[in-house]
Chains A and B, each alone.
Chain A
Amino acid sequence: MSPETLDNTSDRGRPRSPLAAFFFERLGLDDLWALAAKKRVPIHGTTAFYFLGGMALFLFAIQVVTGTLLSLYYKPSPDQAFESVRAIMTEVDFGWLIRSIHTWSANLLIGILFLHVLTTYVMRAYRRPREFTWMTGVGLLVLFLAFGFSGYLLPWNQLAFFATRVGTGIVGVVPLVGRDLLLLARSGENVTGDTLARFYALHVVILPLATLAVLVVHLFLVQKHGISVPERAAKKCGGADRVPSMPFFPHFLLRDMVGWYVALGLLAALAALFPWELGEKAAPFGSAPEGIRPEWYFLFMFQSLKKLPAHVFGIPWLEGETVGGLFFGLCGLIVFLVPLLDLRAAQGRSRPILNVLAAIAVIGFVVMTAWGLLE
């Protein structure tokens, strides 16, 4: 590439040393530079919401690093899984820290993703042409929930064992194919060593590959369409293109990095002050102990299933867990399809029905989670 071509790209802030020029020319970094320079972040009342995506990405990176480290000692078999995690926590130097950061980071990541989806909904950022950005984002949330669910079983403790029995049991309520799905998920009738191997493969191979694939599409779409400006901010400034903005690189990225630095400190503090417990080893034929509950992000579902009657409206064939399982499946589908259901978005009109449903969903989630925690 000639120097003339280099000059055609945006030069702002680009390193000018001969060494940098050497790499820029050979690696084609000018294109990336131009792409980065193009991306701008709107500045308005809710600019802080834009930090959530980057934060999720940072926590995912933490998961990849700590998960890879844990895999060096973890052994996915019923005879050794619990013992290997115990060895990580008690014998391997800083093993307790790595495992605790992995678990805390997973929990923070899910929390950040919930907020990311919610704030994206509030800003109506899924409007044309960003429908697929939303859908891939919801897909990523589902993938990370699957990460959480599959990872929960790996220590092979009592809590994990019964949470997996219940979780895969919910899959079994799907009409017609539920039984087959349950057999596929558990690799048999019961939760066994085969289930553990299956969940391990899911957790460390299948889900990471699927997540990377969807993430690449999601990030490409964010880059392609730019960052959405909320309607209110656009109206206030007399048009979306008149809303003040800052360059993503390096201005917003540096702010992002401050957030990551704080998150890293928070993770270290949480891991040190509240190391994640291991509990008791799973006893596949023993009774479920008291206090069985899933991670907080599945608690709303768990609590709802607990409170649903055996037969809804007293109808013999309408079993509570079937109704509950299908209801939550439908809710997930509605969230996924929000851009297509918000028919008024194109005209810039309000969306009262969706907003009422969203408010009910958020209140329901908070109330059922709190109820589950307190009971």
Chain B
Amino acid sequence: MAAMLAAIFYPVVRFLWPRATTSSGASEVAAPYTVAQLKADAEGKWPPPFNFDGKPCLLIRTPEGEIKAFNAICTHLDCTVEYRPERHDIFCNCHNGVYDLNGRNVSGPPPRPLEVYKVTLRGKPGQEEILVSRNA
């Protein structure tokens, strides 16, 4: 009886289980913006996060001019955070979670800091391409 039930339900459960990930597994990606393009537009909107191996990657430029990259998934409940250059923080609109420019959770419900990625600049000064990679 148990064997029969297992024979019936095991394939169903396996079928319901998510299929193998289709991510590229890339550990490095070139951002869709150059350093010169990394600024707020006329409406004050910062360039949105982009796809880094299936996860949103947020690029910011600190007031000191340093470029930083983070996994943009909020550590609270998986929303995607945004950079607020005028307030010098990273903010989650879903539950008002606030991170500082090092990705540390400073107020609101997020329990952990954002995952930090490594940034490498390549090319002529001012027009550098931005490469983002996982910290090994």
Q: How far is the CB of A361 from chain B (nearest CB, A)?
A: 22
A162 to B111, CA, bound (A): 19
A residues 264-323 with Cβ under 8 Å of B? Answer: 283-292, 302, 305-311, 319-321
Q: How far is the CB of B105 from chain A (nearest CB, A)?
A: 6
* Contact A292–B79 (Cβ < 8 Å): yes
B16 within 8 A of A: yes
B93 within 8 A of A: yes
* Contact A287–B72 (Cβ < 8 Å): yes
* Contact A285–B77 (Cβ < 8 Å): no
Q: For chain A, which range describes its interface: under 10, 10 to 19, 20 to 34, or 35 or more residues?
A: 35 or more
A184 within 8 A of B: yes
Taking a contact as CB atoms closer than 8 A, the residue among A284, A292, A310 that contacts B109 in the complex is A310
Q: How far is the CB of B40 from chain A (nearest CB, A)?
A: 13
Given known A170-B77, A310-B105, contact A286–B96 (CB-CB < 8 A): no
Q: Which residues of A contact B109 (CB under 8 A)?
A: 305-310, 320-321
A165 within 8 A of B: yes
Q: Which residues of A contact B58 (CB under 8 A)?
A: 287
Stretch at the interface among B4-12, B49-57, B118-126, B128-136: B49-57
Given known A285-B56, A306-B109, A321-B109, contact A165–B79 (CB-CB < 8 A): yes
Q: Which residues of B contact A186 (CB under 8 A)?
A: 18
Q: Which residues of A contact B49 (CB under 8 A)?
A: 285-287
Q: Which residues of A contact B103 (CB under 8 A)?
A: none
Q: Which residues of B contact A183 (CB under 8 A)?
A: 17-18
A residues 134-192 with Cβ under 8 Å of B? Answer: 162, 165-166, 168-170, 172, 183-184, 186-190
* Contact A321–B77 (Cβ < 8 Å): yes
* Contact A188–B96 (Cβ < 8 Å): no
A194 within 8 A of B: yes
A96 to B127, CA, bound (A): 48
* Contact A166–B111 (Cβ < 8 Å): no
Chain B: interface residue total (CB-CB under 8 A): 31
Q: How far is the CB of B59 from chain A (nearest CB, A)?
A: 12
Q: Which residues of A contact B17 (CB under 8 A)?
A: 183-184
Given known A290-B93, A309-B109, A311-B111, contact A184–B18 (CB-CB < 8 A): yes
A291 to B96, CA, bound (A): 10
Q: How far is the CB of A368 from chain B (nearest CB, A)?
A: 13
* Contact A287–B81 (Cβ < 8 Å): yes
Most-contacted residue by chain A among B21, B48, B77, B80 (CB, 10 A): B77
Taking a contact as CB atoms closer than 8 A, the residue among B18, B54, B94, B110 that contacts A187 in the complex is B18
A194 to B16, CA, bound (A): 11
Given known A292-B94, A310-B105, contact A166–B18 (CB-CB < 8 A): no
A74 to B94, CA, bound (A): 28
- Having A169-B77, A287-B48, A308-B109, one finds 12 other A-B pairs with CB under 8 Å, namely A162-B79, A165-B77, A166-B77, A183-B18, A188-B19, A189-B54, A288-B80, A302-B95, A306-B96, A306-B108, A321-B77, A321-B111
The contact sample of 30 A-B pairs, CB cut-off 8 A, is: A162-B80, A162-B94, A165-B80, A166-B95, A169-B76, A169-B78, A172-B78, A184-B18, A186-B18, A187-B18, A187-B19, A188-B21, A194-B18, A284-B56, A285-B49, A285-B50, A285-B56, A285-B80, A286-B48, A286-B49, A286-B56, A287-B58, A287-B80, A287-B81, A287-B93, A288-B79, A288-B81, A291-B93, A305-B109, A310-B110
List B residues at the A interface (Cβ < 8 Å): 16-19, 21, 48-51, 54-56, 58, 72, 76-82, 92-96, 105, 108-111
